[in-house]
Structure 1
Amino acid sequence: MHTQVSLSSISQLIDGTHENPSSLLGPHNIDYRGSSAVAVRSFLPEAKAAWVIDRLSGQRRAMRRIHPAGFFEAICDPMLDGSQSNSEDALNNQLAQSKYHIQMTNETGKIIEMQDPYAAPSILTDFDRYLIGEGKHHQLYERLGAQLRTVDGQSGVNFAVWAPNARSVQVVGDFNGWDGRKHIARVHPNLGIWELFIPGAKAGDRYKFRIHSLHGEWVDKSDPLGFAAELPPLTASIVTDINNYQWADVDWIERRAEWNPMHEPMNVYEVHLGSWQKGPGRTHGWLDYRDLARRLAEYCRRMNFTHVELMPVNEHPFSGSWGYQAVGYYAPTSRHGNPEDFMYFVDYMHQHGIGVIVDWVPAHFPKDGHGLRRFDGSALYEHEDPRKGEHPDWGTMIFNYGRNEVRNFLVANALFWLEKYHIDGLRVDAVASMLYLDYSREDGDWIPNQYGGRENLEALDFLREFNVAVHEKYPGVVTAAEESTAWPGVSRPTYDGGLGFTYKWNMGWMNDTLSYMRNEPIHRRYHQNELTFSLIYAFTENFMLPLSHDEVVHGKGSLISQMPGDMWQKFANLRLLYSYMWTHPGKKLLFMGGEFAQWNEWNDDDGPDWILLDFATHRGVQQLVADLNKLVIENPALHQLDFNGEGFEWIDCMNADDSTLVYIRKGLDDAPPILVCSNFTPVVRRGYRVGVPQSGFWKEIFNSDGEAYGGSNVGNYPGRKTFGEGHHGRADSISVDLPPLATVIFRLDEPA
């Protein structure tokens, strides 16, 4: 049968290898017998017969079967809308607004009517194309991926994916029996984006992109911007509407915009949702997001935590990675429910006064075949050269931050979690590995930057761009860097040469403090500097003090198992560690299980041993953490000037022989000062003279040796009145009893 389409083009279409199917399929203006007409072409492999139905005139025109595999064509003359204009502009306008359906009968005689996928206009506007080209489309998630859409009254899904080096891209899923020949995407050549509107596709449909790669291979890929995914080990993306949830946290969001993260208290509870608590009869014991929200909010309120930090919740194929090897950057893991369930989780936490921070991993991604690696057959998201593109420690791929589209993918992803899920903060994992080109590499295994240095200049630009975008668009939201080196200005503004993070994890404090606490008390006099060194640099960054999951895995043991001494001393040392941490400048973070002295090293299969709370010693530690959290919240001197040297003053840091520390914490304005006295030996020190900056009555407001916490109850209740005698270079002093392996805290409640 006569057609203007070549047989070779039709054969490529049927084979699924045609690079530009839209040049064949859909409506096309042609010169037919000396007149302008419209050729409508469809590939309908299941059709026995097909027709074009003009929706405006009702005209029904039979389509000719051009190829036995199911390639059909109809020449619509006069044109579909009945007009007789032959101008090129009129024809192009008509093609963009063609009002017709395809009707077909299959082998069983069933009549099926559908909209032509190739007649729908692109979802991308000219402005979208401009922003994508510049790598600045911060709402990329509203254009790429699977977008529910209605075209000419027909509901369906618009699929779009970036794969510039693919030979062809098919959309496969429940809506086409996973036969990609039925839905070959159209390409935007200058953008490398493949797009297709599929009428009748709907929320809940599973799908993938079937990519004919640069090297001629076919591979099924999950959607990089998919909003939901199947439960692992299944890997399909799921069409999802994420815009219907009715949020009830408007008050929280409004307050957050006025929140100053420098001056407010922050007690963070780090949680792995898959193991925090288990549920009998559930898959792997995983609780759903809604159940977790109710349990976790109640627990955090009781424990006086202000925030939870969730280990990565984006979809990841291997549970043992704890989420740090992500594939679905735009999808909360289906292990605990669907996207609306996770929205409920965040909403519920907000309604109960708890902020939600999530771990975010822009440093690397795994090699799983359905993921980002070699996405279109080329090194698309990663670097081609393994000296830049592959992480030697984790066997993962490193993002190519120098590519506009990759930076756009990541920055838009950060904003996505803040916009669509109301997240209050992002903790960025493995920042040190991003900053240095030679991170964990031997000489010769890395490529210097353009100036011959080891700094990853492209990663630096990305981190600054990310932080600026977050802080400009979402005031009150925090970003925190897990950065273990001495890189300067991590938490300084970008306009001042910094990276722009709100906080930096103080890994030096963590390492030095745990190293000190592991020493037997008799040897601690030789290691006093390990405790005091952190105050030399404490105000060079906005530090968060972390005792995270990294300190209780990989053979390190739990925190209490790292403490020296007999059973009583282990508990006393842990209480002392927490008391020192909570009174040290900086925001606080503690991993789950640590708050009640979990004995076993954490693993993601079992989680915390909640049964330990049957024992008074463990309940005592739990109560101590709750009281320390409350102490920080209620006393401005313990949180208002965490990042300012004016908020801290040593009274005595030189008494290494007695292994004691004494210091003052101060707040803004008229906040009463807090006096902290710690004894890192099991020897009771009675009548210990302490110089104080003001005379009056210093009330004892906390004692980690209290009987309620499992201590020996040596203390100074209700407090101590000043002598009028100078000491420690101060004009006045008090005499206190220092309990064994304990901290006592005083507040000036009655100035003289």
Structure 2
Amino acid sequence: MKPHLPEEERNPQLPARAQPPLQRRASHHHRQFEVMGAHPDGNGTAFTVWAPNARNVGVIGSFNQWNCQPLHRLDDGSGRWGGFIAGARPGQCYKYRIQDMHGHWMDKADPYAFRMEHPPGTASQIWDLSHEWGDQEWMRTRWQRQAHDQPMSIYEVHLGSWQREEDGRFLNYRDIAQRLATHCQNLGFTHVELMPIAEHPFYGSWGYQLTGYFAPTSRYGTPQDLMVFVDTLHQRGIGVILDWVPSHFPSDPHALARFDGTALYEHEDPRLGFHPEWNSLIFNYGRYEVRDFLISNALFWLEKYHFDGLRVDAVASMLYLDYGRRHGEWIPNAHGGNQNHDAVRFLQDLNTTVYAQFPDVHMIAEESTAWPAVSRPVHHGGLGFGMKWNMGWMNDTLRYVSRPHIFRHWHGDDIRFSAVYAFDENFILPLSHDEVVYGKGSLLGRQPGDEWQRFAGLRNLFGLMWGHPGKKLLFMGGEFGQLAEWHHEGTLHWHLWARPYHAGIARWVSDLNAAYRRLPALHVHDFDGQGFSWLPCERHEPTVLTFLRRAGPADAQVVVICNLTPEPRHALKVAMPAPGTWHEVLNSDAAVYGGSGVGNLGRVQATPHGLGGWPASAVVTVPPLGTVILCNETIQTIAPNQGEAHARQ
């Protein structure tokens, strides 16, 4: 394991806890949205577009009956074209008409448009982004709320399939905001993460094939409606993270592909510029105009929409030149390797720039390989992200819990290995949308056994996840044990809440979030090994996990015990960090969650009889497929019905 770094060395972009951040403006080239695109004033609209290899460029729109009005090439050598068109007003549609060097004319949407036509329309719209925000208190205290030693429990949402109108129509951003804020407050989530909402022509891409990088999808309303969405959640104490896609873009002819007749945003050579897995194009990160476009886009969402962080999609596909390619389909770098040095530079510049302007946000990498130092500072050789999804934990854990119970005895490494590297990066534990699609089944459906065992197994999975070091992320539907895997064309099966077992899952998630937020031991050292230790048992139990979570010396300590088989463990002697009374603050087998009621009568007594080098030990009853969380201080009751769990002999 790597040595543990102090907080400021692990991520110096984080603000000091003693004072709020001072936001600094980046240099103008990282704020292209201020000059590029369409900017209306009282008399008309100024248009600016980058098309360095075009022969002619003009604007067509509803304000000129779609007759082309020419733009002029700016004389600053930038390759930009610009002009002012009187009478062009906010809300009106337009496109750029571009003649390439061979004389061919193309109609292109504006890469910097603030709004796009509702699909299947592809035109851009002039738009004014003014909005009166009401989230000043959230923004003033965000640096405290989002510090790495604070709890972070993320609810991942696809807006089009979370809820809809009764007739199947999409809800407006504003309507979703009220419902979603109430739902997250009731269940105790600290953040919402939105799957991509920048405009995308194909709804079935889930937003990962973007054509309008600066335009929120009009499926759910206007840009101001989205601002109200974020504003509402902030005023209800909930952060909002945006899933952001700088790794690839679709080849739709109206969008970025061969924008001026040449490979402007992508590479000319398909071995560099085409992604075979996703049938999409890859940005040319070696071109500074492309880097400026993407970094400006990141700053745009954080500034104009007050998002609290960006989850950067498919980072691994950016870092490796041979990602998803067979031999002969890629070009090695100058040193003969498969690392994409231009992408590394872009990611480092991206994170450095974002944290310089917004030190209180989160930059999160979805990175699925062993690339080192993803969430370490750039000046230490890292990529500069604040956090990284722990895909290894996810894969190992889901593989383990999908096994029949009788076979788990021989696969303990799957469930324990994550502790070996848990603090090499600043990890988020993700149970995301990717784990409940394409025939994988739902989280509940992966559990083996009969109906009772499947629900107990899902509660056990969540108990282990919330006890394990790392911030938490759960995709919508998991919080109440949706039976079917997710599909974007429907909505969550909300009627399941009327069934006791499903309601029990929701109560368990709510109580886990309450404990996670209330007990510093469960979140202060999520990224630091001093907050975690394995605890030995008197007899070796490969299917029982017992570990300690701790915070500061004045804070309560927490012991988490997970039984991964359907047989209860009676009189299990477990090492404890200190003698005294340990309160059973949570038990997944309590009747209120749908459990069988096996437990410890609310407490266990640790005696000064050492075990395995620890100063004390206790005899504990661990329920079947159950998680027990013990705390050595009396705290306000987290779950009022915990007294229903008793020691059944």
TM-score, structure 2 as length reference: 0.92
Cα deviation, residue 214, structure 1? 2.6
Contact residue 697 and residue 750 of structure 1 kept, 8 A: no
Q: Deviations over 1:125-179 (max 9, x none)?
A: xxxxxxxxx99612210100001135xxxx1100010010111111010110000
Find 2:139's aligned residue among 253, 256, 264: 253
Structure 1 residue aligned with 2:33: 141
Cα deviation, residue 187, structure 1? 3.8
1:308 partner SS: strand
Structure 1 residue aligned with 2:249: 365
1:167 aligns with 2:51: no
Q: Deviations over 1:398-453 (max 9, x none)?
A: 00000010000000000000000000010000000000001111121111111111
RMSD: 1.5
Structure 2 residue aligned with 1:47: none
Structure 2 residue aligned with 1:711: 595
Find 2:151's aligned residue among 265, 268, 292: 265
Structure 2 residue aligned with 1:19: none
Find 1:411's aligned residue among 291, 295, 316: 295
Following the alignment from structure 1 to structure 2, what is the Cα–Cα distance between the partners of residues 736 and 233? 61
Cα deviation, residue 668, structure 1? 2.3
Compare the two structures and name the one with the higher strand fraction.
1
1:688 aligns with 2:590: no
Following the alignment from structure 1 to structure 2, what is the Cα–Cα distance between the partners of residues 640 and 269? 20
Structure 2 residue aligned with 1:278: 164
Structure 2 residue aligned with 1:297: 181
1:432 aligns with 2:432: no
Cα deviation, residue 260, structure 1? 4.8
Contact residue 696 and residue 750 of structure 1 kept, 8 A: no
Find 1:573's aligned residue among 454, 457, 468: 457
Q: Which runs of structure 2 are paired with 1:402-481 in the superposition (5 Å)?
A: 402-481=286-365
Cα deviation, residue 264, structure 1? 0.6
Contact residue 537 and residue 572 of structure 2 kept, 8 A: no
Find 2:44's aligned residue among 156, 160, 163: 156
Larger displacement relative to structure 2 (220-229 or 444-453): 444-453
Find 2:105's aligned residue among 215, 218, 234: 218
Q: Which runs of structure 2 are paired with 1:511-530 in the superposition (5 Å)?
A: 511-530=395-414
Find 1:229's aligned residue among 113, 116, 133: 116
Cα deviation, residue 655, structure 1? 6.6
Structure 1 residues 258 and 745, CA, compared in 2 at 3 Å: closer, same or farther? closer
Structure 1 residues 554 and 655, CA, compared in 2 at 3 Å: closer, same or farther? farther
Following the alignment from structure 1 to structure 2, what is the Cα–Cα distance between the partners of residues 200 and 232? 26
Structure 1 residues 664 and 363, CA, compared in 2 at 3 Å: closer, same or farther? same
Q: Deviations over 1:319-373 (max 9, x none)?
A: 0000000010000000000000000000000000000001000000001111100
| Identity value in percent | 53
Contact residue 135 and residue 405 of structure 1 kept, 8 A: no
Q: Which amino acid aligns with 1:256?
A: R
Cα deviation, residue 600, structure 1? 0.7
Rg comparison, structure with higher value? 1
Contact residue 233 and residue 317 of structure 1 kept, 8 A: yes
Gapped runs of 5+ residues in structure 1?
A: 1-133
Cα deviation, residue 471, structure 1? 0.8
Q: Deviations over 1:689-740 (max 9, x none)?
A: 1110111110000001110110001011320112232223322111111100
Following the alignment from structure 2 to structure 1, what is the Cα–Cα distance between the partners of residues 432 and 185? 20
User: Hey, which bits of structure 1, 4+ residues long, moved more than 4 A?
Assistant: 653-658
Q: Which amino acid aligns with 2:223?
A: P
Following the alignment from structure 1 to structure 2, what is the Cα–Cα distance between the partners of residues 672 and 722? 15
1:490 partner SS: coil
Contact residue 537 and residue 575 of structure 2 kept, 8 A: no
Following the alignment from structure 2 to structure 1, what is the Cα–Cα distance between the partners of residues 27 and 320? 23
Q: Deviations over 1:214-267 (max 9, x none)?
A: 33211111110000011000011110000x210011111110134453101000
The structure showing larger relative contact order (alpha-carbon pairs under 8 Å, at least 6 residues apart) is 2
The size of the alignment, in residue pairs, is 610
Q: Which amino acid aligns with 1:558?
A: S
1:324 partner SS: coil
2:411 partner SS: helix
Q: Which amino acid aligns with 2:390?
A: N
Structure 1 residues 395 and 655, CA, compared in 2 at 3 Å: closer, same or farther? farther
TM-score, structure 1 as length reference: 0.80
Structure 1 residue aligned with 2:387: 503
Q: Which runs of structure 2 are paired with 1:662-701 in the superposition (5 Å)?
A: 662-701=546-585
Q: Which runs of structure 2 are paired with 1:92-111 in the superposition (5 Å)?
A: none
Cα deviation, residue 184, structure 1? 3.9
Contact residue 271 and residue 311 of structure 1 kept, 8 A: yes
1:238 aligns with 2:125: yes
Contact residue 538 and residue 572 of structure 2 kept, 8 A: no
Cα deviation, residue 189, structure 1? 5.9
Q: Deviations over 1:567-604 (max 9, x none)?
A: 11110110000000000000000000011111111010
Following the alignment from structure 1 to structure 2, what is the Cα–Cα distance between the partners of residues 301 and 259? 15
2:48 partner SS: strand
1:514 partner SS: helix
1:547 aligns with 2:414: no
2:162 partner SS: coil
Q: Which amino acid aligns with 2:517?
A: I
Structure 2 residue aligned with 1:178: 66
Following the alignment from structure 1 to structure 2, what is the Cα–Cα distance between the partners of residues 654 and 374? 67
Gapped runs of 5+ residues in structure 2?
A: 1-25, 636-649
Following the alignment from structure 1 to structure 2, what is the Cα–Cα distance between the partners of residues 393 and 731? 55
1:209 partner SS: strand
Q: Which amino acid aligns with 1:450?
A: A
Following the alignment from structure 2 to structure 1, what is the Cα–Cα distance between the partners of residues 508 and 206? 29
Cα deviation, residue 492, structure 1? 0.3
